[in-house]
Structure 1
Amino acid sequence: MSKVLEVCVDSLESTTAAIAGGAGRLELCSSLLEGGLTPTPGLLIQVQNLSANKIPIYCMLRCRPGNFIYNRQELEVMIEDARILRKYGANGFVFGALLENGAVDMKTCREIIKACYPCPVTFHRAFDFCERPSIEIEVIIDLGFERVLTSGKQVNAQLGSKLIKKLREQVGSRIIIMPGGGINKENMKFIIENTEAKEYHGSFRKTLSQTEKEDESDVKIGGYEGPRYVADQDYIAEIVNILMNC
């Protein structure tokens, strides 16, 4: 199995940079500043138009920021989003749901997987909030997820590499374990060597320079007033080069 770099994007600018940098798959979201939310069908369509080589596009299913404990109404929103995005050509989906005790919410996950079918589904970093990762990974496999995105329950995948490798040894070929969280060109080689994973994930963003920012104004909309972030094509290319030469 060849190595794959999945790049998380939430805009057309980031999509262009990710594709040009050599991403093997896109995780498409809105609002990465909030950890990534469900993208619009319009964004999916335009991202597909940019992807001349038709790399896979996996859409996030997350109707709000915050925890991963969803009520019935929130679940219905995400089921409908999955149906619509699947209709418009999503290649896969990214989702995760937990119970209050930190266990995987099997009922909610089953309903989402059914709504996404036949598209594959990745269980996202909600996994890093599970209390018993070695047990919950078996639940996730039984539910039919294709892969798990994890930092190994640490602030970044470098610190979590020991657990990531342990999980990979436990699951074998039954599911893909994909390290993600704080991956950069300084720690990429370490993570590859210490997890031996085949897929890796990150957003690899840069802040827009002052000349690229919109005109300053006293008028503000919403609570966030910081810089915009976009994927960095050159940085992604460096990461891909490290990945392919390790």
Structure 2
Amino acid sequence: MSNRAVLEVIALDEEDAVAAQTGGADRLELVTDMAADGLTPSLVGFAAIRAAVDIPLRVMLRLTDGFAAGGPRGIDALVGRALELRAAGADEFVLGFLTPDGEPDLVAVERLIAVLDGARWTFHRAIDRAADRDGLRKRLADLPGLDTYLTAGAATGVDDGLATLKAETARAGEPGYEAQILVGGGLRLDHLPGLRASGLDAFHIGGAARPQGWAAPVSADAVRTWREALDA
């Protein structure tokens, strides 16, 4: 196995997806509506991207802004969307829900992973809003399919989370710390040397892949700059 770092890029449509793959992305996170920080894409959108690229796709399961699942009705709606996406061929997902007091919403998470049927998934930046990061990790540790945490180390972004990211990386393999850390949230190129030196090996970009902003598509050149920095 090589020590090549994983580069995941947010894609909103097939144009983004093709540009990201061309630039060297290893995986895409599929979302819609970045004004709400990324919601579940449509089945049509998923199918178009799946047909356009051949790298792995992680599909967001999130129907409203924030980190609440939306109670029983919200969870039912999420389960319905997950079943549709799974039937359409989606085989990797991104999810994460908290209760109002910042605990992991195990009811929502367990309902969803039951229908994901063994698919691999990322617990996203809800961890950065958790009341107790270590407690959250230990409570999720034995859930099937969980292989990644998308985290900046802090709710405010990587600048404030560097010490946490490095400390959690040092615990790799301990109970609750088996999943790969995927660094994202205010990540910049100048963070990479220090993060790589600490042993971090997976990185997630959204806005950094779009020099013209979210209204413009992913730039293959911008993604390539990140790929080259990670491979240096």
Do the two structures share a fold, i.e. TM-score over 0.5?
A: yes
Deviation string 1:192-243 (CA, Å, 9 cap, x unpaired) is 234x2121111122327xxxxxxxxxxxxxxxxxx71322211110111111
Residue 84 of structure 1 aligns with an amino acid whose one-letter code is E
Q: Aligned equivalents of 2:194 and 2:172: distance in 1?
A: 21
Q: Take 1:181 and 1:162, find their aligned partners in 2: how far apart are those partners?
A: 15
* Residues in 2 aligned to 1:187 and 1:176: alpha-carbon distance in whole angstroms: 18
Question: Which amino acid letter does the alignment assign opposite residue 44 of structure 1?
Answer: F
- Quickly say closer, same or farther: Cα 1:42–1:55, change in 2 above 3 A: same
Indicate the residue corresponding to 2:195 in structure 1.
191
Per the normalisation by structure 2, the TM-score is 0.90
Count of paired positions: 224
Distance in 1 between residues matched to 2:143 and 2:108, nearest whole Å: 11
Conserved in 1, the CA contact under 8 Å of 2:57 and 2:92?
yes
1:46, CA displacement in angstroms?
0.8
Q: Map of 1:69-88 to 2, 5 A cutoff?
A: 69-88=69-88
Between the aligned partners of 2:118 and 2:19, the Cα distance in structure 1 is 29
Q: Secondary structure at the match of 2:168?
A: helix
Whose helix fraction is larger, Structure 1's or Structure 2's? 2
What is the TM-score of this pair, normalised by structure 1?
0.85
Unaligned runs of 5+ in 1: 209-226
Partners of 2:18 and 2:203 in 1: CA distance: 19
Paired amino acid for 1:148: Y
Task: Pick from 200, 221, 227 the counterpart of residue 234 of structure 1.
Answer: 221
Q: In the superposition, relative to structure 1, how do residues 110 and 171 fare at CA in structure 2: closer, same or farther (>3 Å)?
A: farther
Larger Rg: 1
| CA contact 1:17–1:232 (8 Å) conserved in 2 | yes
Segments of structure 2 that go 5 or more residues without pairing to the other structure are none
What is the alpha-carbon root mean square deviation over aligned residues?
1.7
Query: Helix, strand or coil: the match of 2:128?
Result: helix
2:178 counterpart residue number: 174
Residue number in structure 1 paired with 2:210: 205
| Greater displacement, 173-182 / 96-105 | 173-182
Runs of 4+ in structure 1 displaced over 3 angstroms?
Answer: none
Q: Which residue of 1 aligns with 2:91?
A: 91
User: What is the CA-CA distance between 1:143 and the residue it aligns to?
Assistant: 2.3
Equivalent position SS for 1:6? strand
Q: Deviations over 1:8-45 (max 9, x none)?
A: 11122211211111000000011122200000111111
Conserved in 1, the CA contact under 8 Å of 2:41 and 2:59? yes
1:67 offset after TM fit, Å?
A: 3.4
